[in-house]
Amino acid sequence: MSRAFADLREFLAFLETHGELVRVDAEVDPVLEIVEICRRLLHAGGPAVVFNRVKGSSMGVVANLFGSERRIGLALGRPPEQLEALGEDLARLKQPQPPSGIRDLIGLVRLFAKARFMPVRTVFNPPCRETVWSGDQVDLGRLPILTCWPEDVGRLITWPLVITQGTEGGPVNIGVYRMQVLGKNRVIMRWLKHRGGALHARQYDHKMPVAVAIGCDPATILAAVTPVPENLSEYAFAGLLRERRVETAPGLYPGLPVPATAEIVLEGMVNLQELAREGPFGDHTGYYNEVESFPVMTVERMTMRRDPLYLGTYTGRPPDEPAILAVALNRVFSPLIKKQFPEISGFHLSMAAASYRVAFVGLKKAYPGHGFRIMMAVWGFLRQFLYTKYVIVVDEGVPLEDPARVMEAVARNCHGGRDLVRLEYTPIDYLDFASRHSGLGGKLGMDATVKMGVEHDVVPTMDGPETTSGVWVADMVASHGFIVNVHLWFQGLVAVVGVDGKTPQRGVLAARTLLEQVDSQTGPRQFWIVDDDCRPDSWDDLLWSLATRTDPGRDLILDGATGRFAMDATRRTLAETGRLWGKPLIPDPKTVEKVTRRWSEYGLPPV
């Protein structure tokens, strides 16, 4: 049974009674200090936190709110393992069909029973307007907006629920798009091209009305990050989650109702013809992102509750709060894609791979070549998978949450001449530095299922034995100075090879050297090349490298005669891509020392 929290405050009180929230009374700095505290809490599985005294502001800050799957489950009134039921509801909403059996019928009846909670309830004297500033009174400096990383260009609003609508009406869209503060009433609206807000923006010629809510009830926040069908508003889905209608208030602009109990609401116009350079900021890839241009919003009205709370978060190399949310939402994605493709037995997006760039898919294989249908299905089904760089298909029964088992299936079942699909110049995340062209790059599909029928005729046997010798390792390390370490997996079938960070084009050099000089009969079938800042014995490090440092259209190197292959997952230079590589995110040493020294003063649990 879900639980309907009226607002953020009620949810915080609930968390506190369940030992999932701590309040800090010591004064903290919104510049770096709060994020360093939260980074440690999240890595330790610690609680959400309310900072009551924030330097330079009269407002408190809420952070690490969804930093554990348990708290996400508490927000939705169900344990994380039961979140697939939400995905089943979404699947029915996305593609309504007559029930195919008793289970479907029961699910449909249950959904119809909850449909009464989908329409919003309008409130005309909402808490979110207990304080109102308009025009010249608007000053974003009143908000304790966080600075997350030492080389961030400025302050960044990280948990805004951005509310938009198309020119012809239709469902309101709510998305989370980070907002860089430019001045007292100006922010940059960073929405990616495939997201709902940007799609609405294409319908406007010049100025577009927008509302932004910060600090809402948890169901509305989670609805905003869920793949809701395009014909459904996130408000309606939040009502389903809460099993209670969402209360909204008429906004400054017609058609843009705002959450009535939001802590803070910003309303204004986005000038689609005024672009500003956004960034760099630390991002979920573990790097500072490239600078890109996005439209500017002028805030015309800022309203809030009495004694408002500001909700913030940060992004960095996983795990971070968005990555924890992605793990939970993975349970929601699964029923959506299974309903469309019933042969899919499981679906998993690896947190280590920036949460969406590597997908593991379980398949109830029925015919030769079946795996390739599933690769295309994943890339084409939901906008959320547009930027998924690798799709690895394995047989039903392979535990998708265990990357070692998935990669063992790749080692034993993938032949480079038969089981790989390489695509070039496909849409990718513009934050991906590995590609030469911003927003365009390669993808790789890998059929790691056990082969059947005519598939054996294409490649009768995998070249080489089921176990291999590691005698070549010492010779390679001794003969080639750019190879610094090697870890063998699965009885030597796979080698993860670390190379130094100085030799130009070291990755491709290592890949070609290994394929040419290591005997195909006694050596690995696959070589994965990583930089020396990655541990060859860590699957998380390898997946992160694949997600952030490869363009599969360029970096896959095949040995056509044997079916062996190598992947160059090393950083690129400006000369190789024509783009500056983002700097890795490193916490500020002075802030790290400060937080360590003050930890007992905060009253937080040890980490």
Question: E strands along 196-336, which residues?
Answer: 207-214, 247-249, 258-259, 264-278, 292-304, 309-311
pLDDT at residue 97, as a whole number? 53
Q: How far is the CA of 169 from the CAs of 189, 200, 257, 476, 591, in angstroms?
A: 21, 10, 12, 64, 48
CA end-to-end span of the chain, whole Å?
A: 33
Alpha carbon distance 12, 75 (integer Å) = 10
Using a CB cutoff of 8 Å and minimum separation of 24, what contacts does 395-398 make? Answer: 395/362, 395/363, 395/365, 395/449, 395/450, 396/345, 396/346, 396/362, 396/363, 396/364, 396/365, 397/345, 397/362, 398/362
Alpha carbon distance 441, 463 (integer Å) = 30
pLDDT at residue 61, as a whole number? 99
Question: Which residues partner with 175 through β-bridges?
Answer: 162
Supply the pTM of this predicted model.
Answer: 0.91
Spot the catalytic one: 7, 29, 283, 555.
283
Task: Give span(s): CATH 2.30.110.10, the chain.
Answer: 8-98+126-311
283 is catalytic: yes
Domain 337-458 has CATH 3.40.50.261: no
Identify the residue whose tokens are 């968005």. Answer: 322
Question: Which residues partner with 499 through β-bridges?
Answer: 483, 531
pLDDT at residue 101, as a whole number? 55
The list of the chain residues with pLDDT below 70 reads 1-2, 92-113, 460-469
Helix (H, G, I), strand (E, B) or coil at 7: coil
Task: Give span(s): CATH 3.40.1670.10, the chain.
Answer: 337-458, 472-577
What is the CATH code of the structural domain delimited by 472-577?
3.40.1670.10
Question: Which residues partner with 346 through β-bridges?
Answer: 362
What is the CATH code of the structural domain delimited by 8-98+126-311?
2.30.110.10
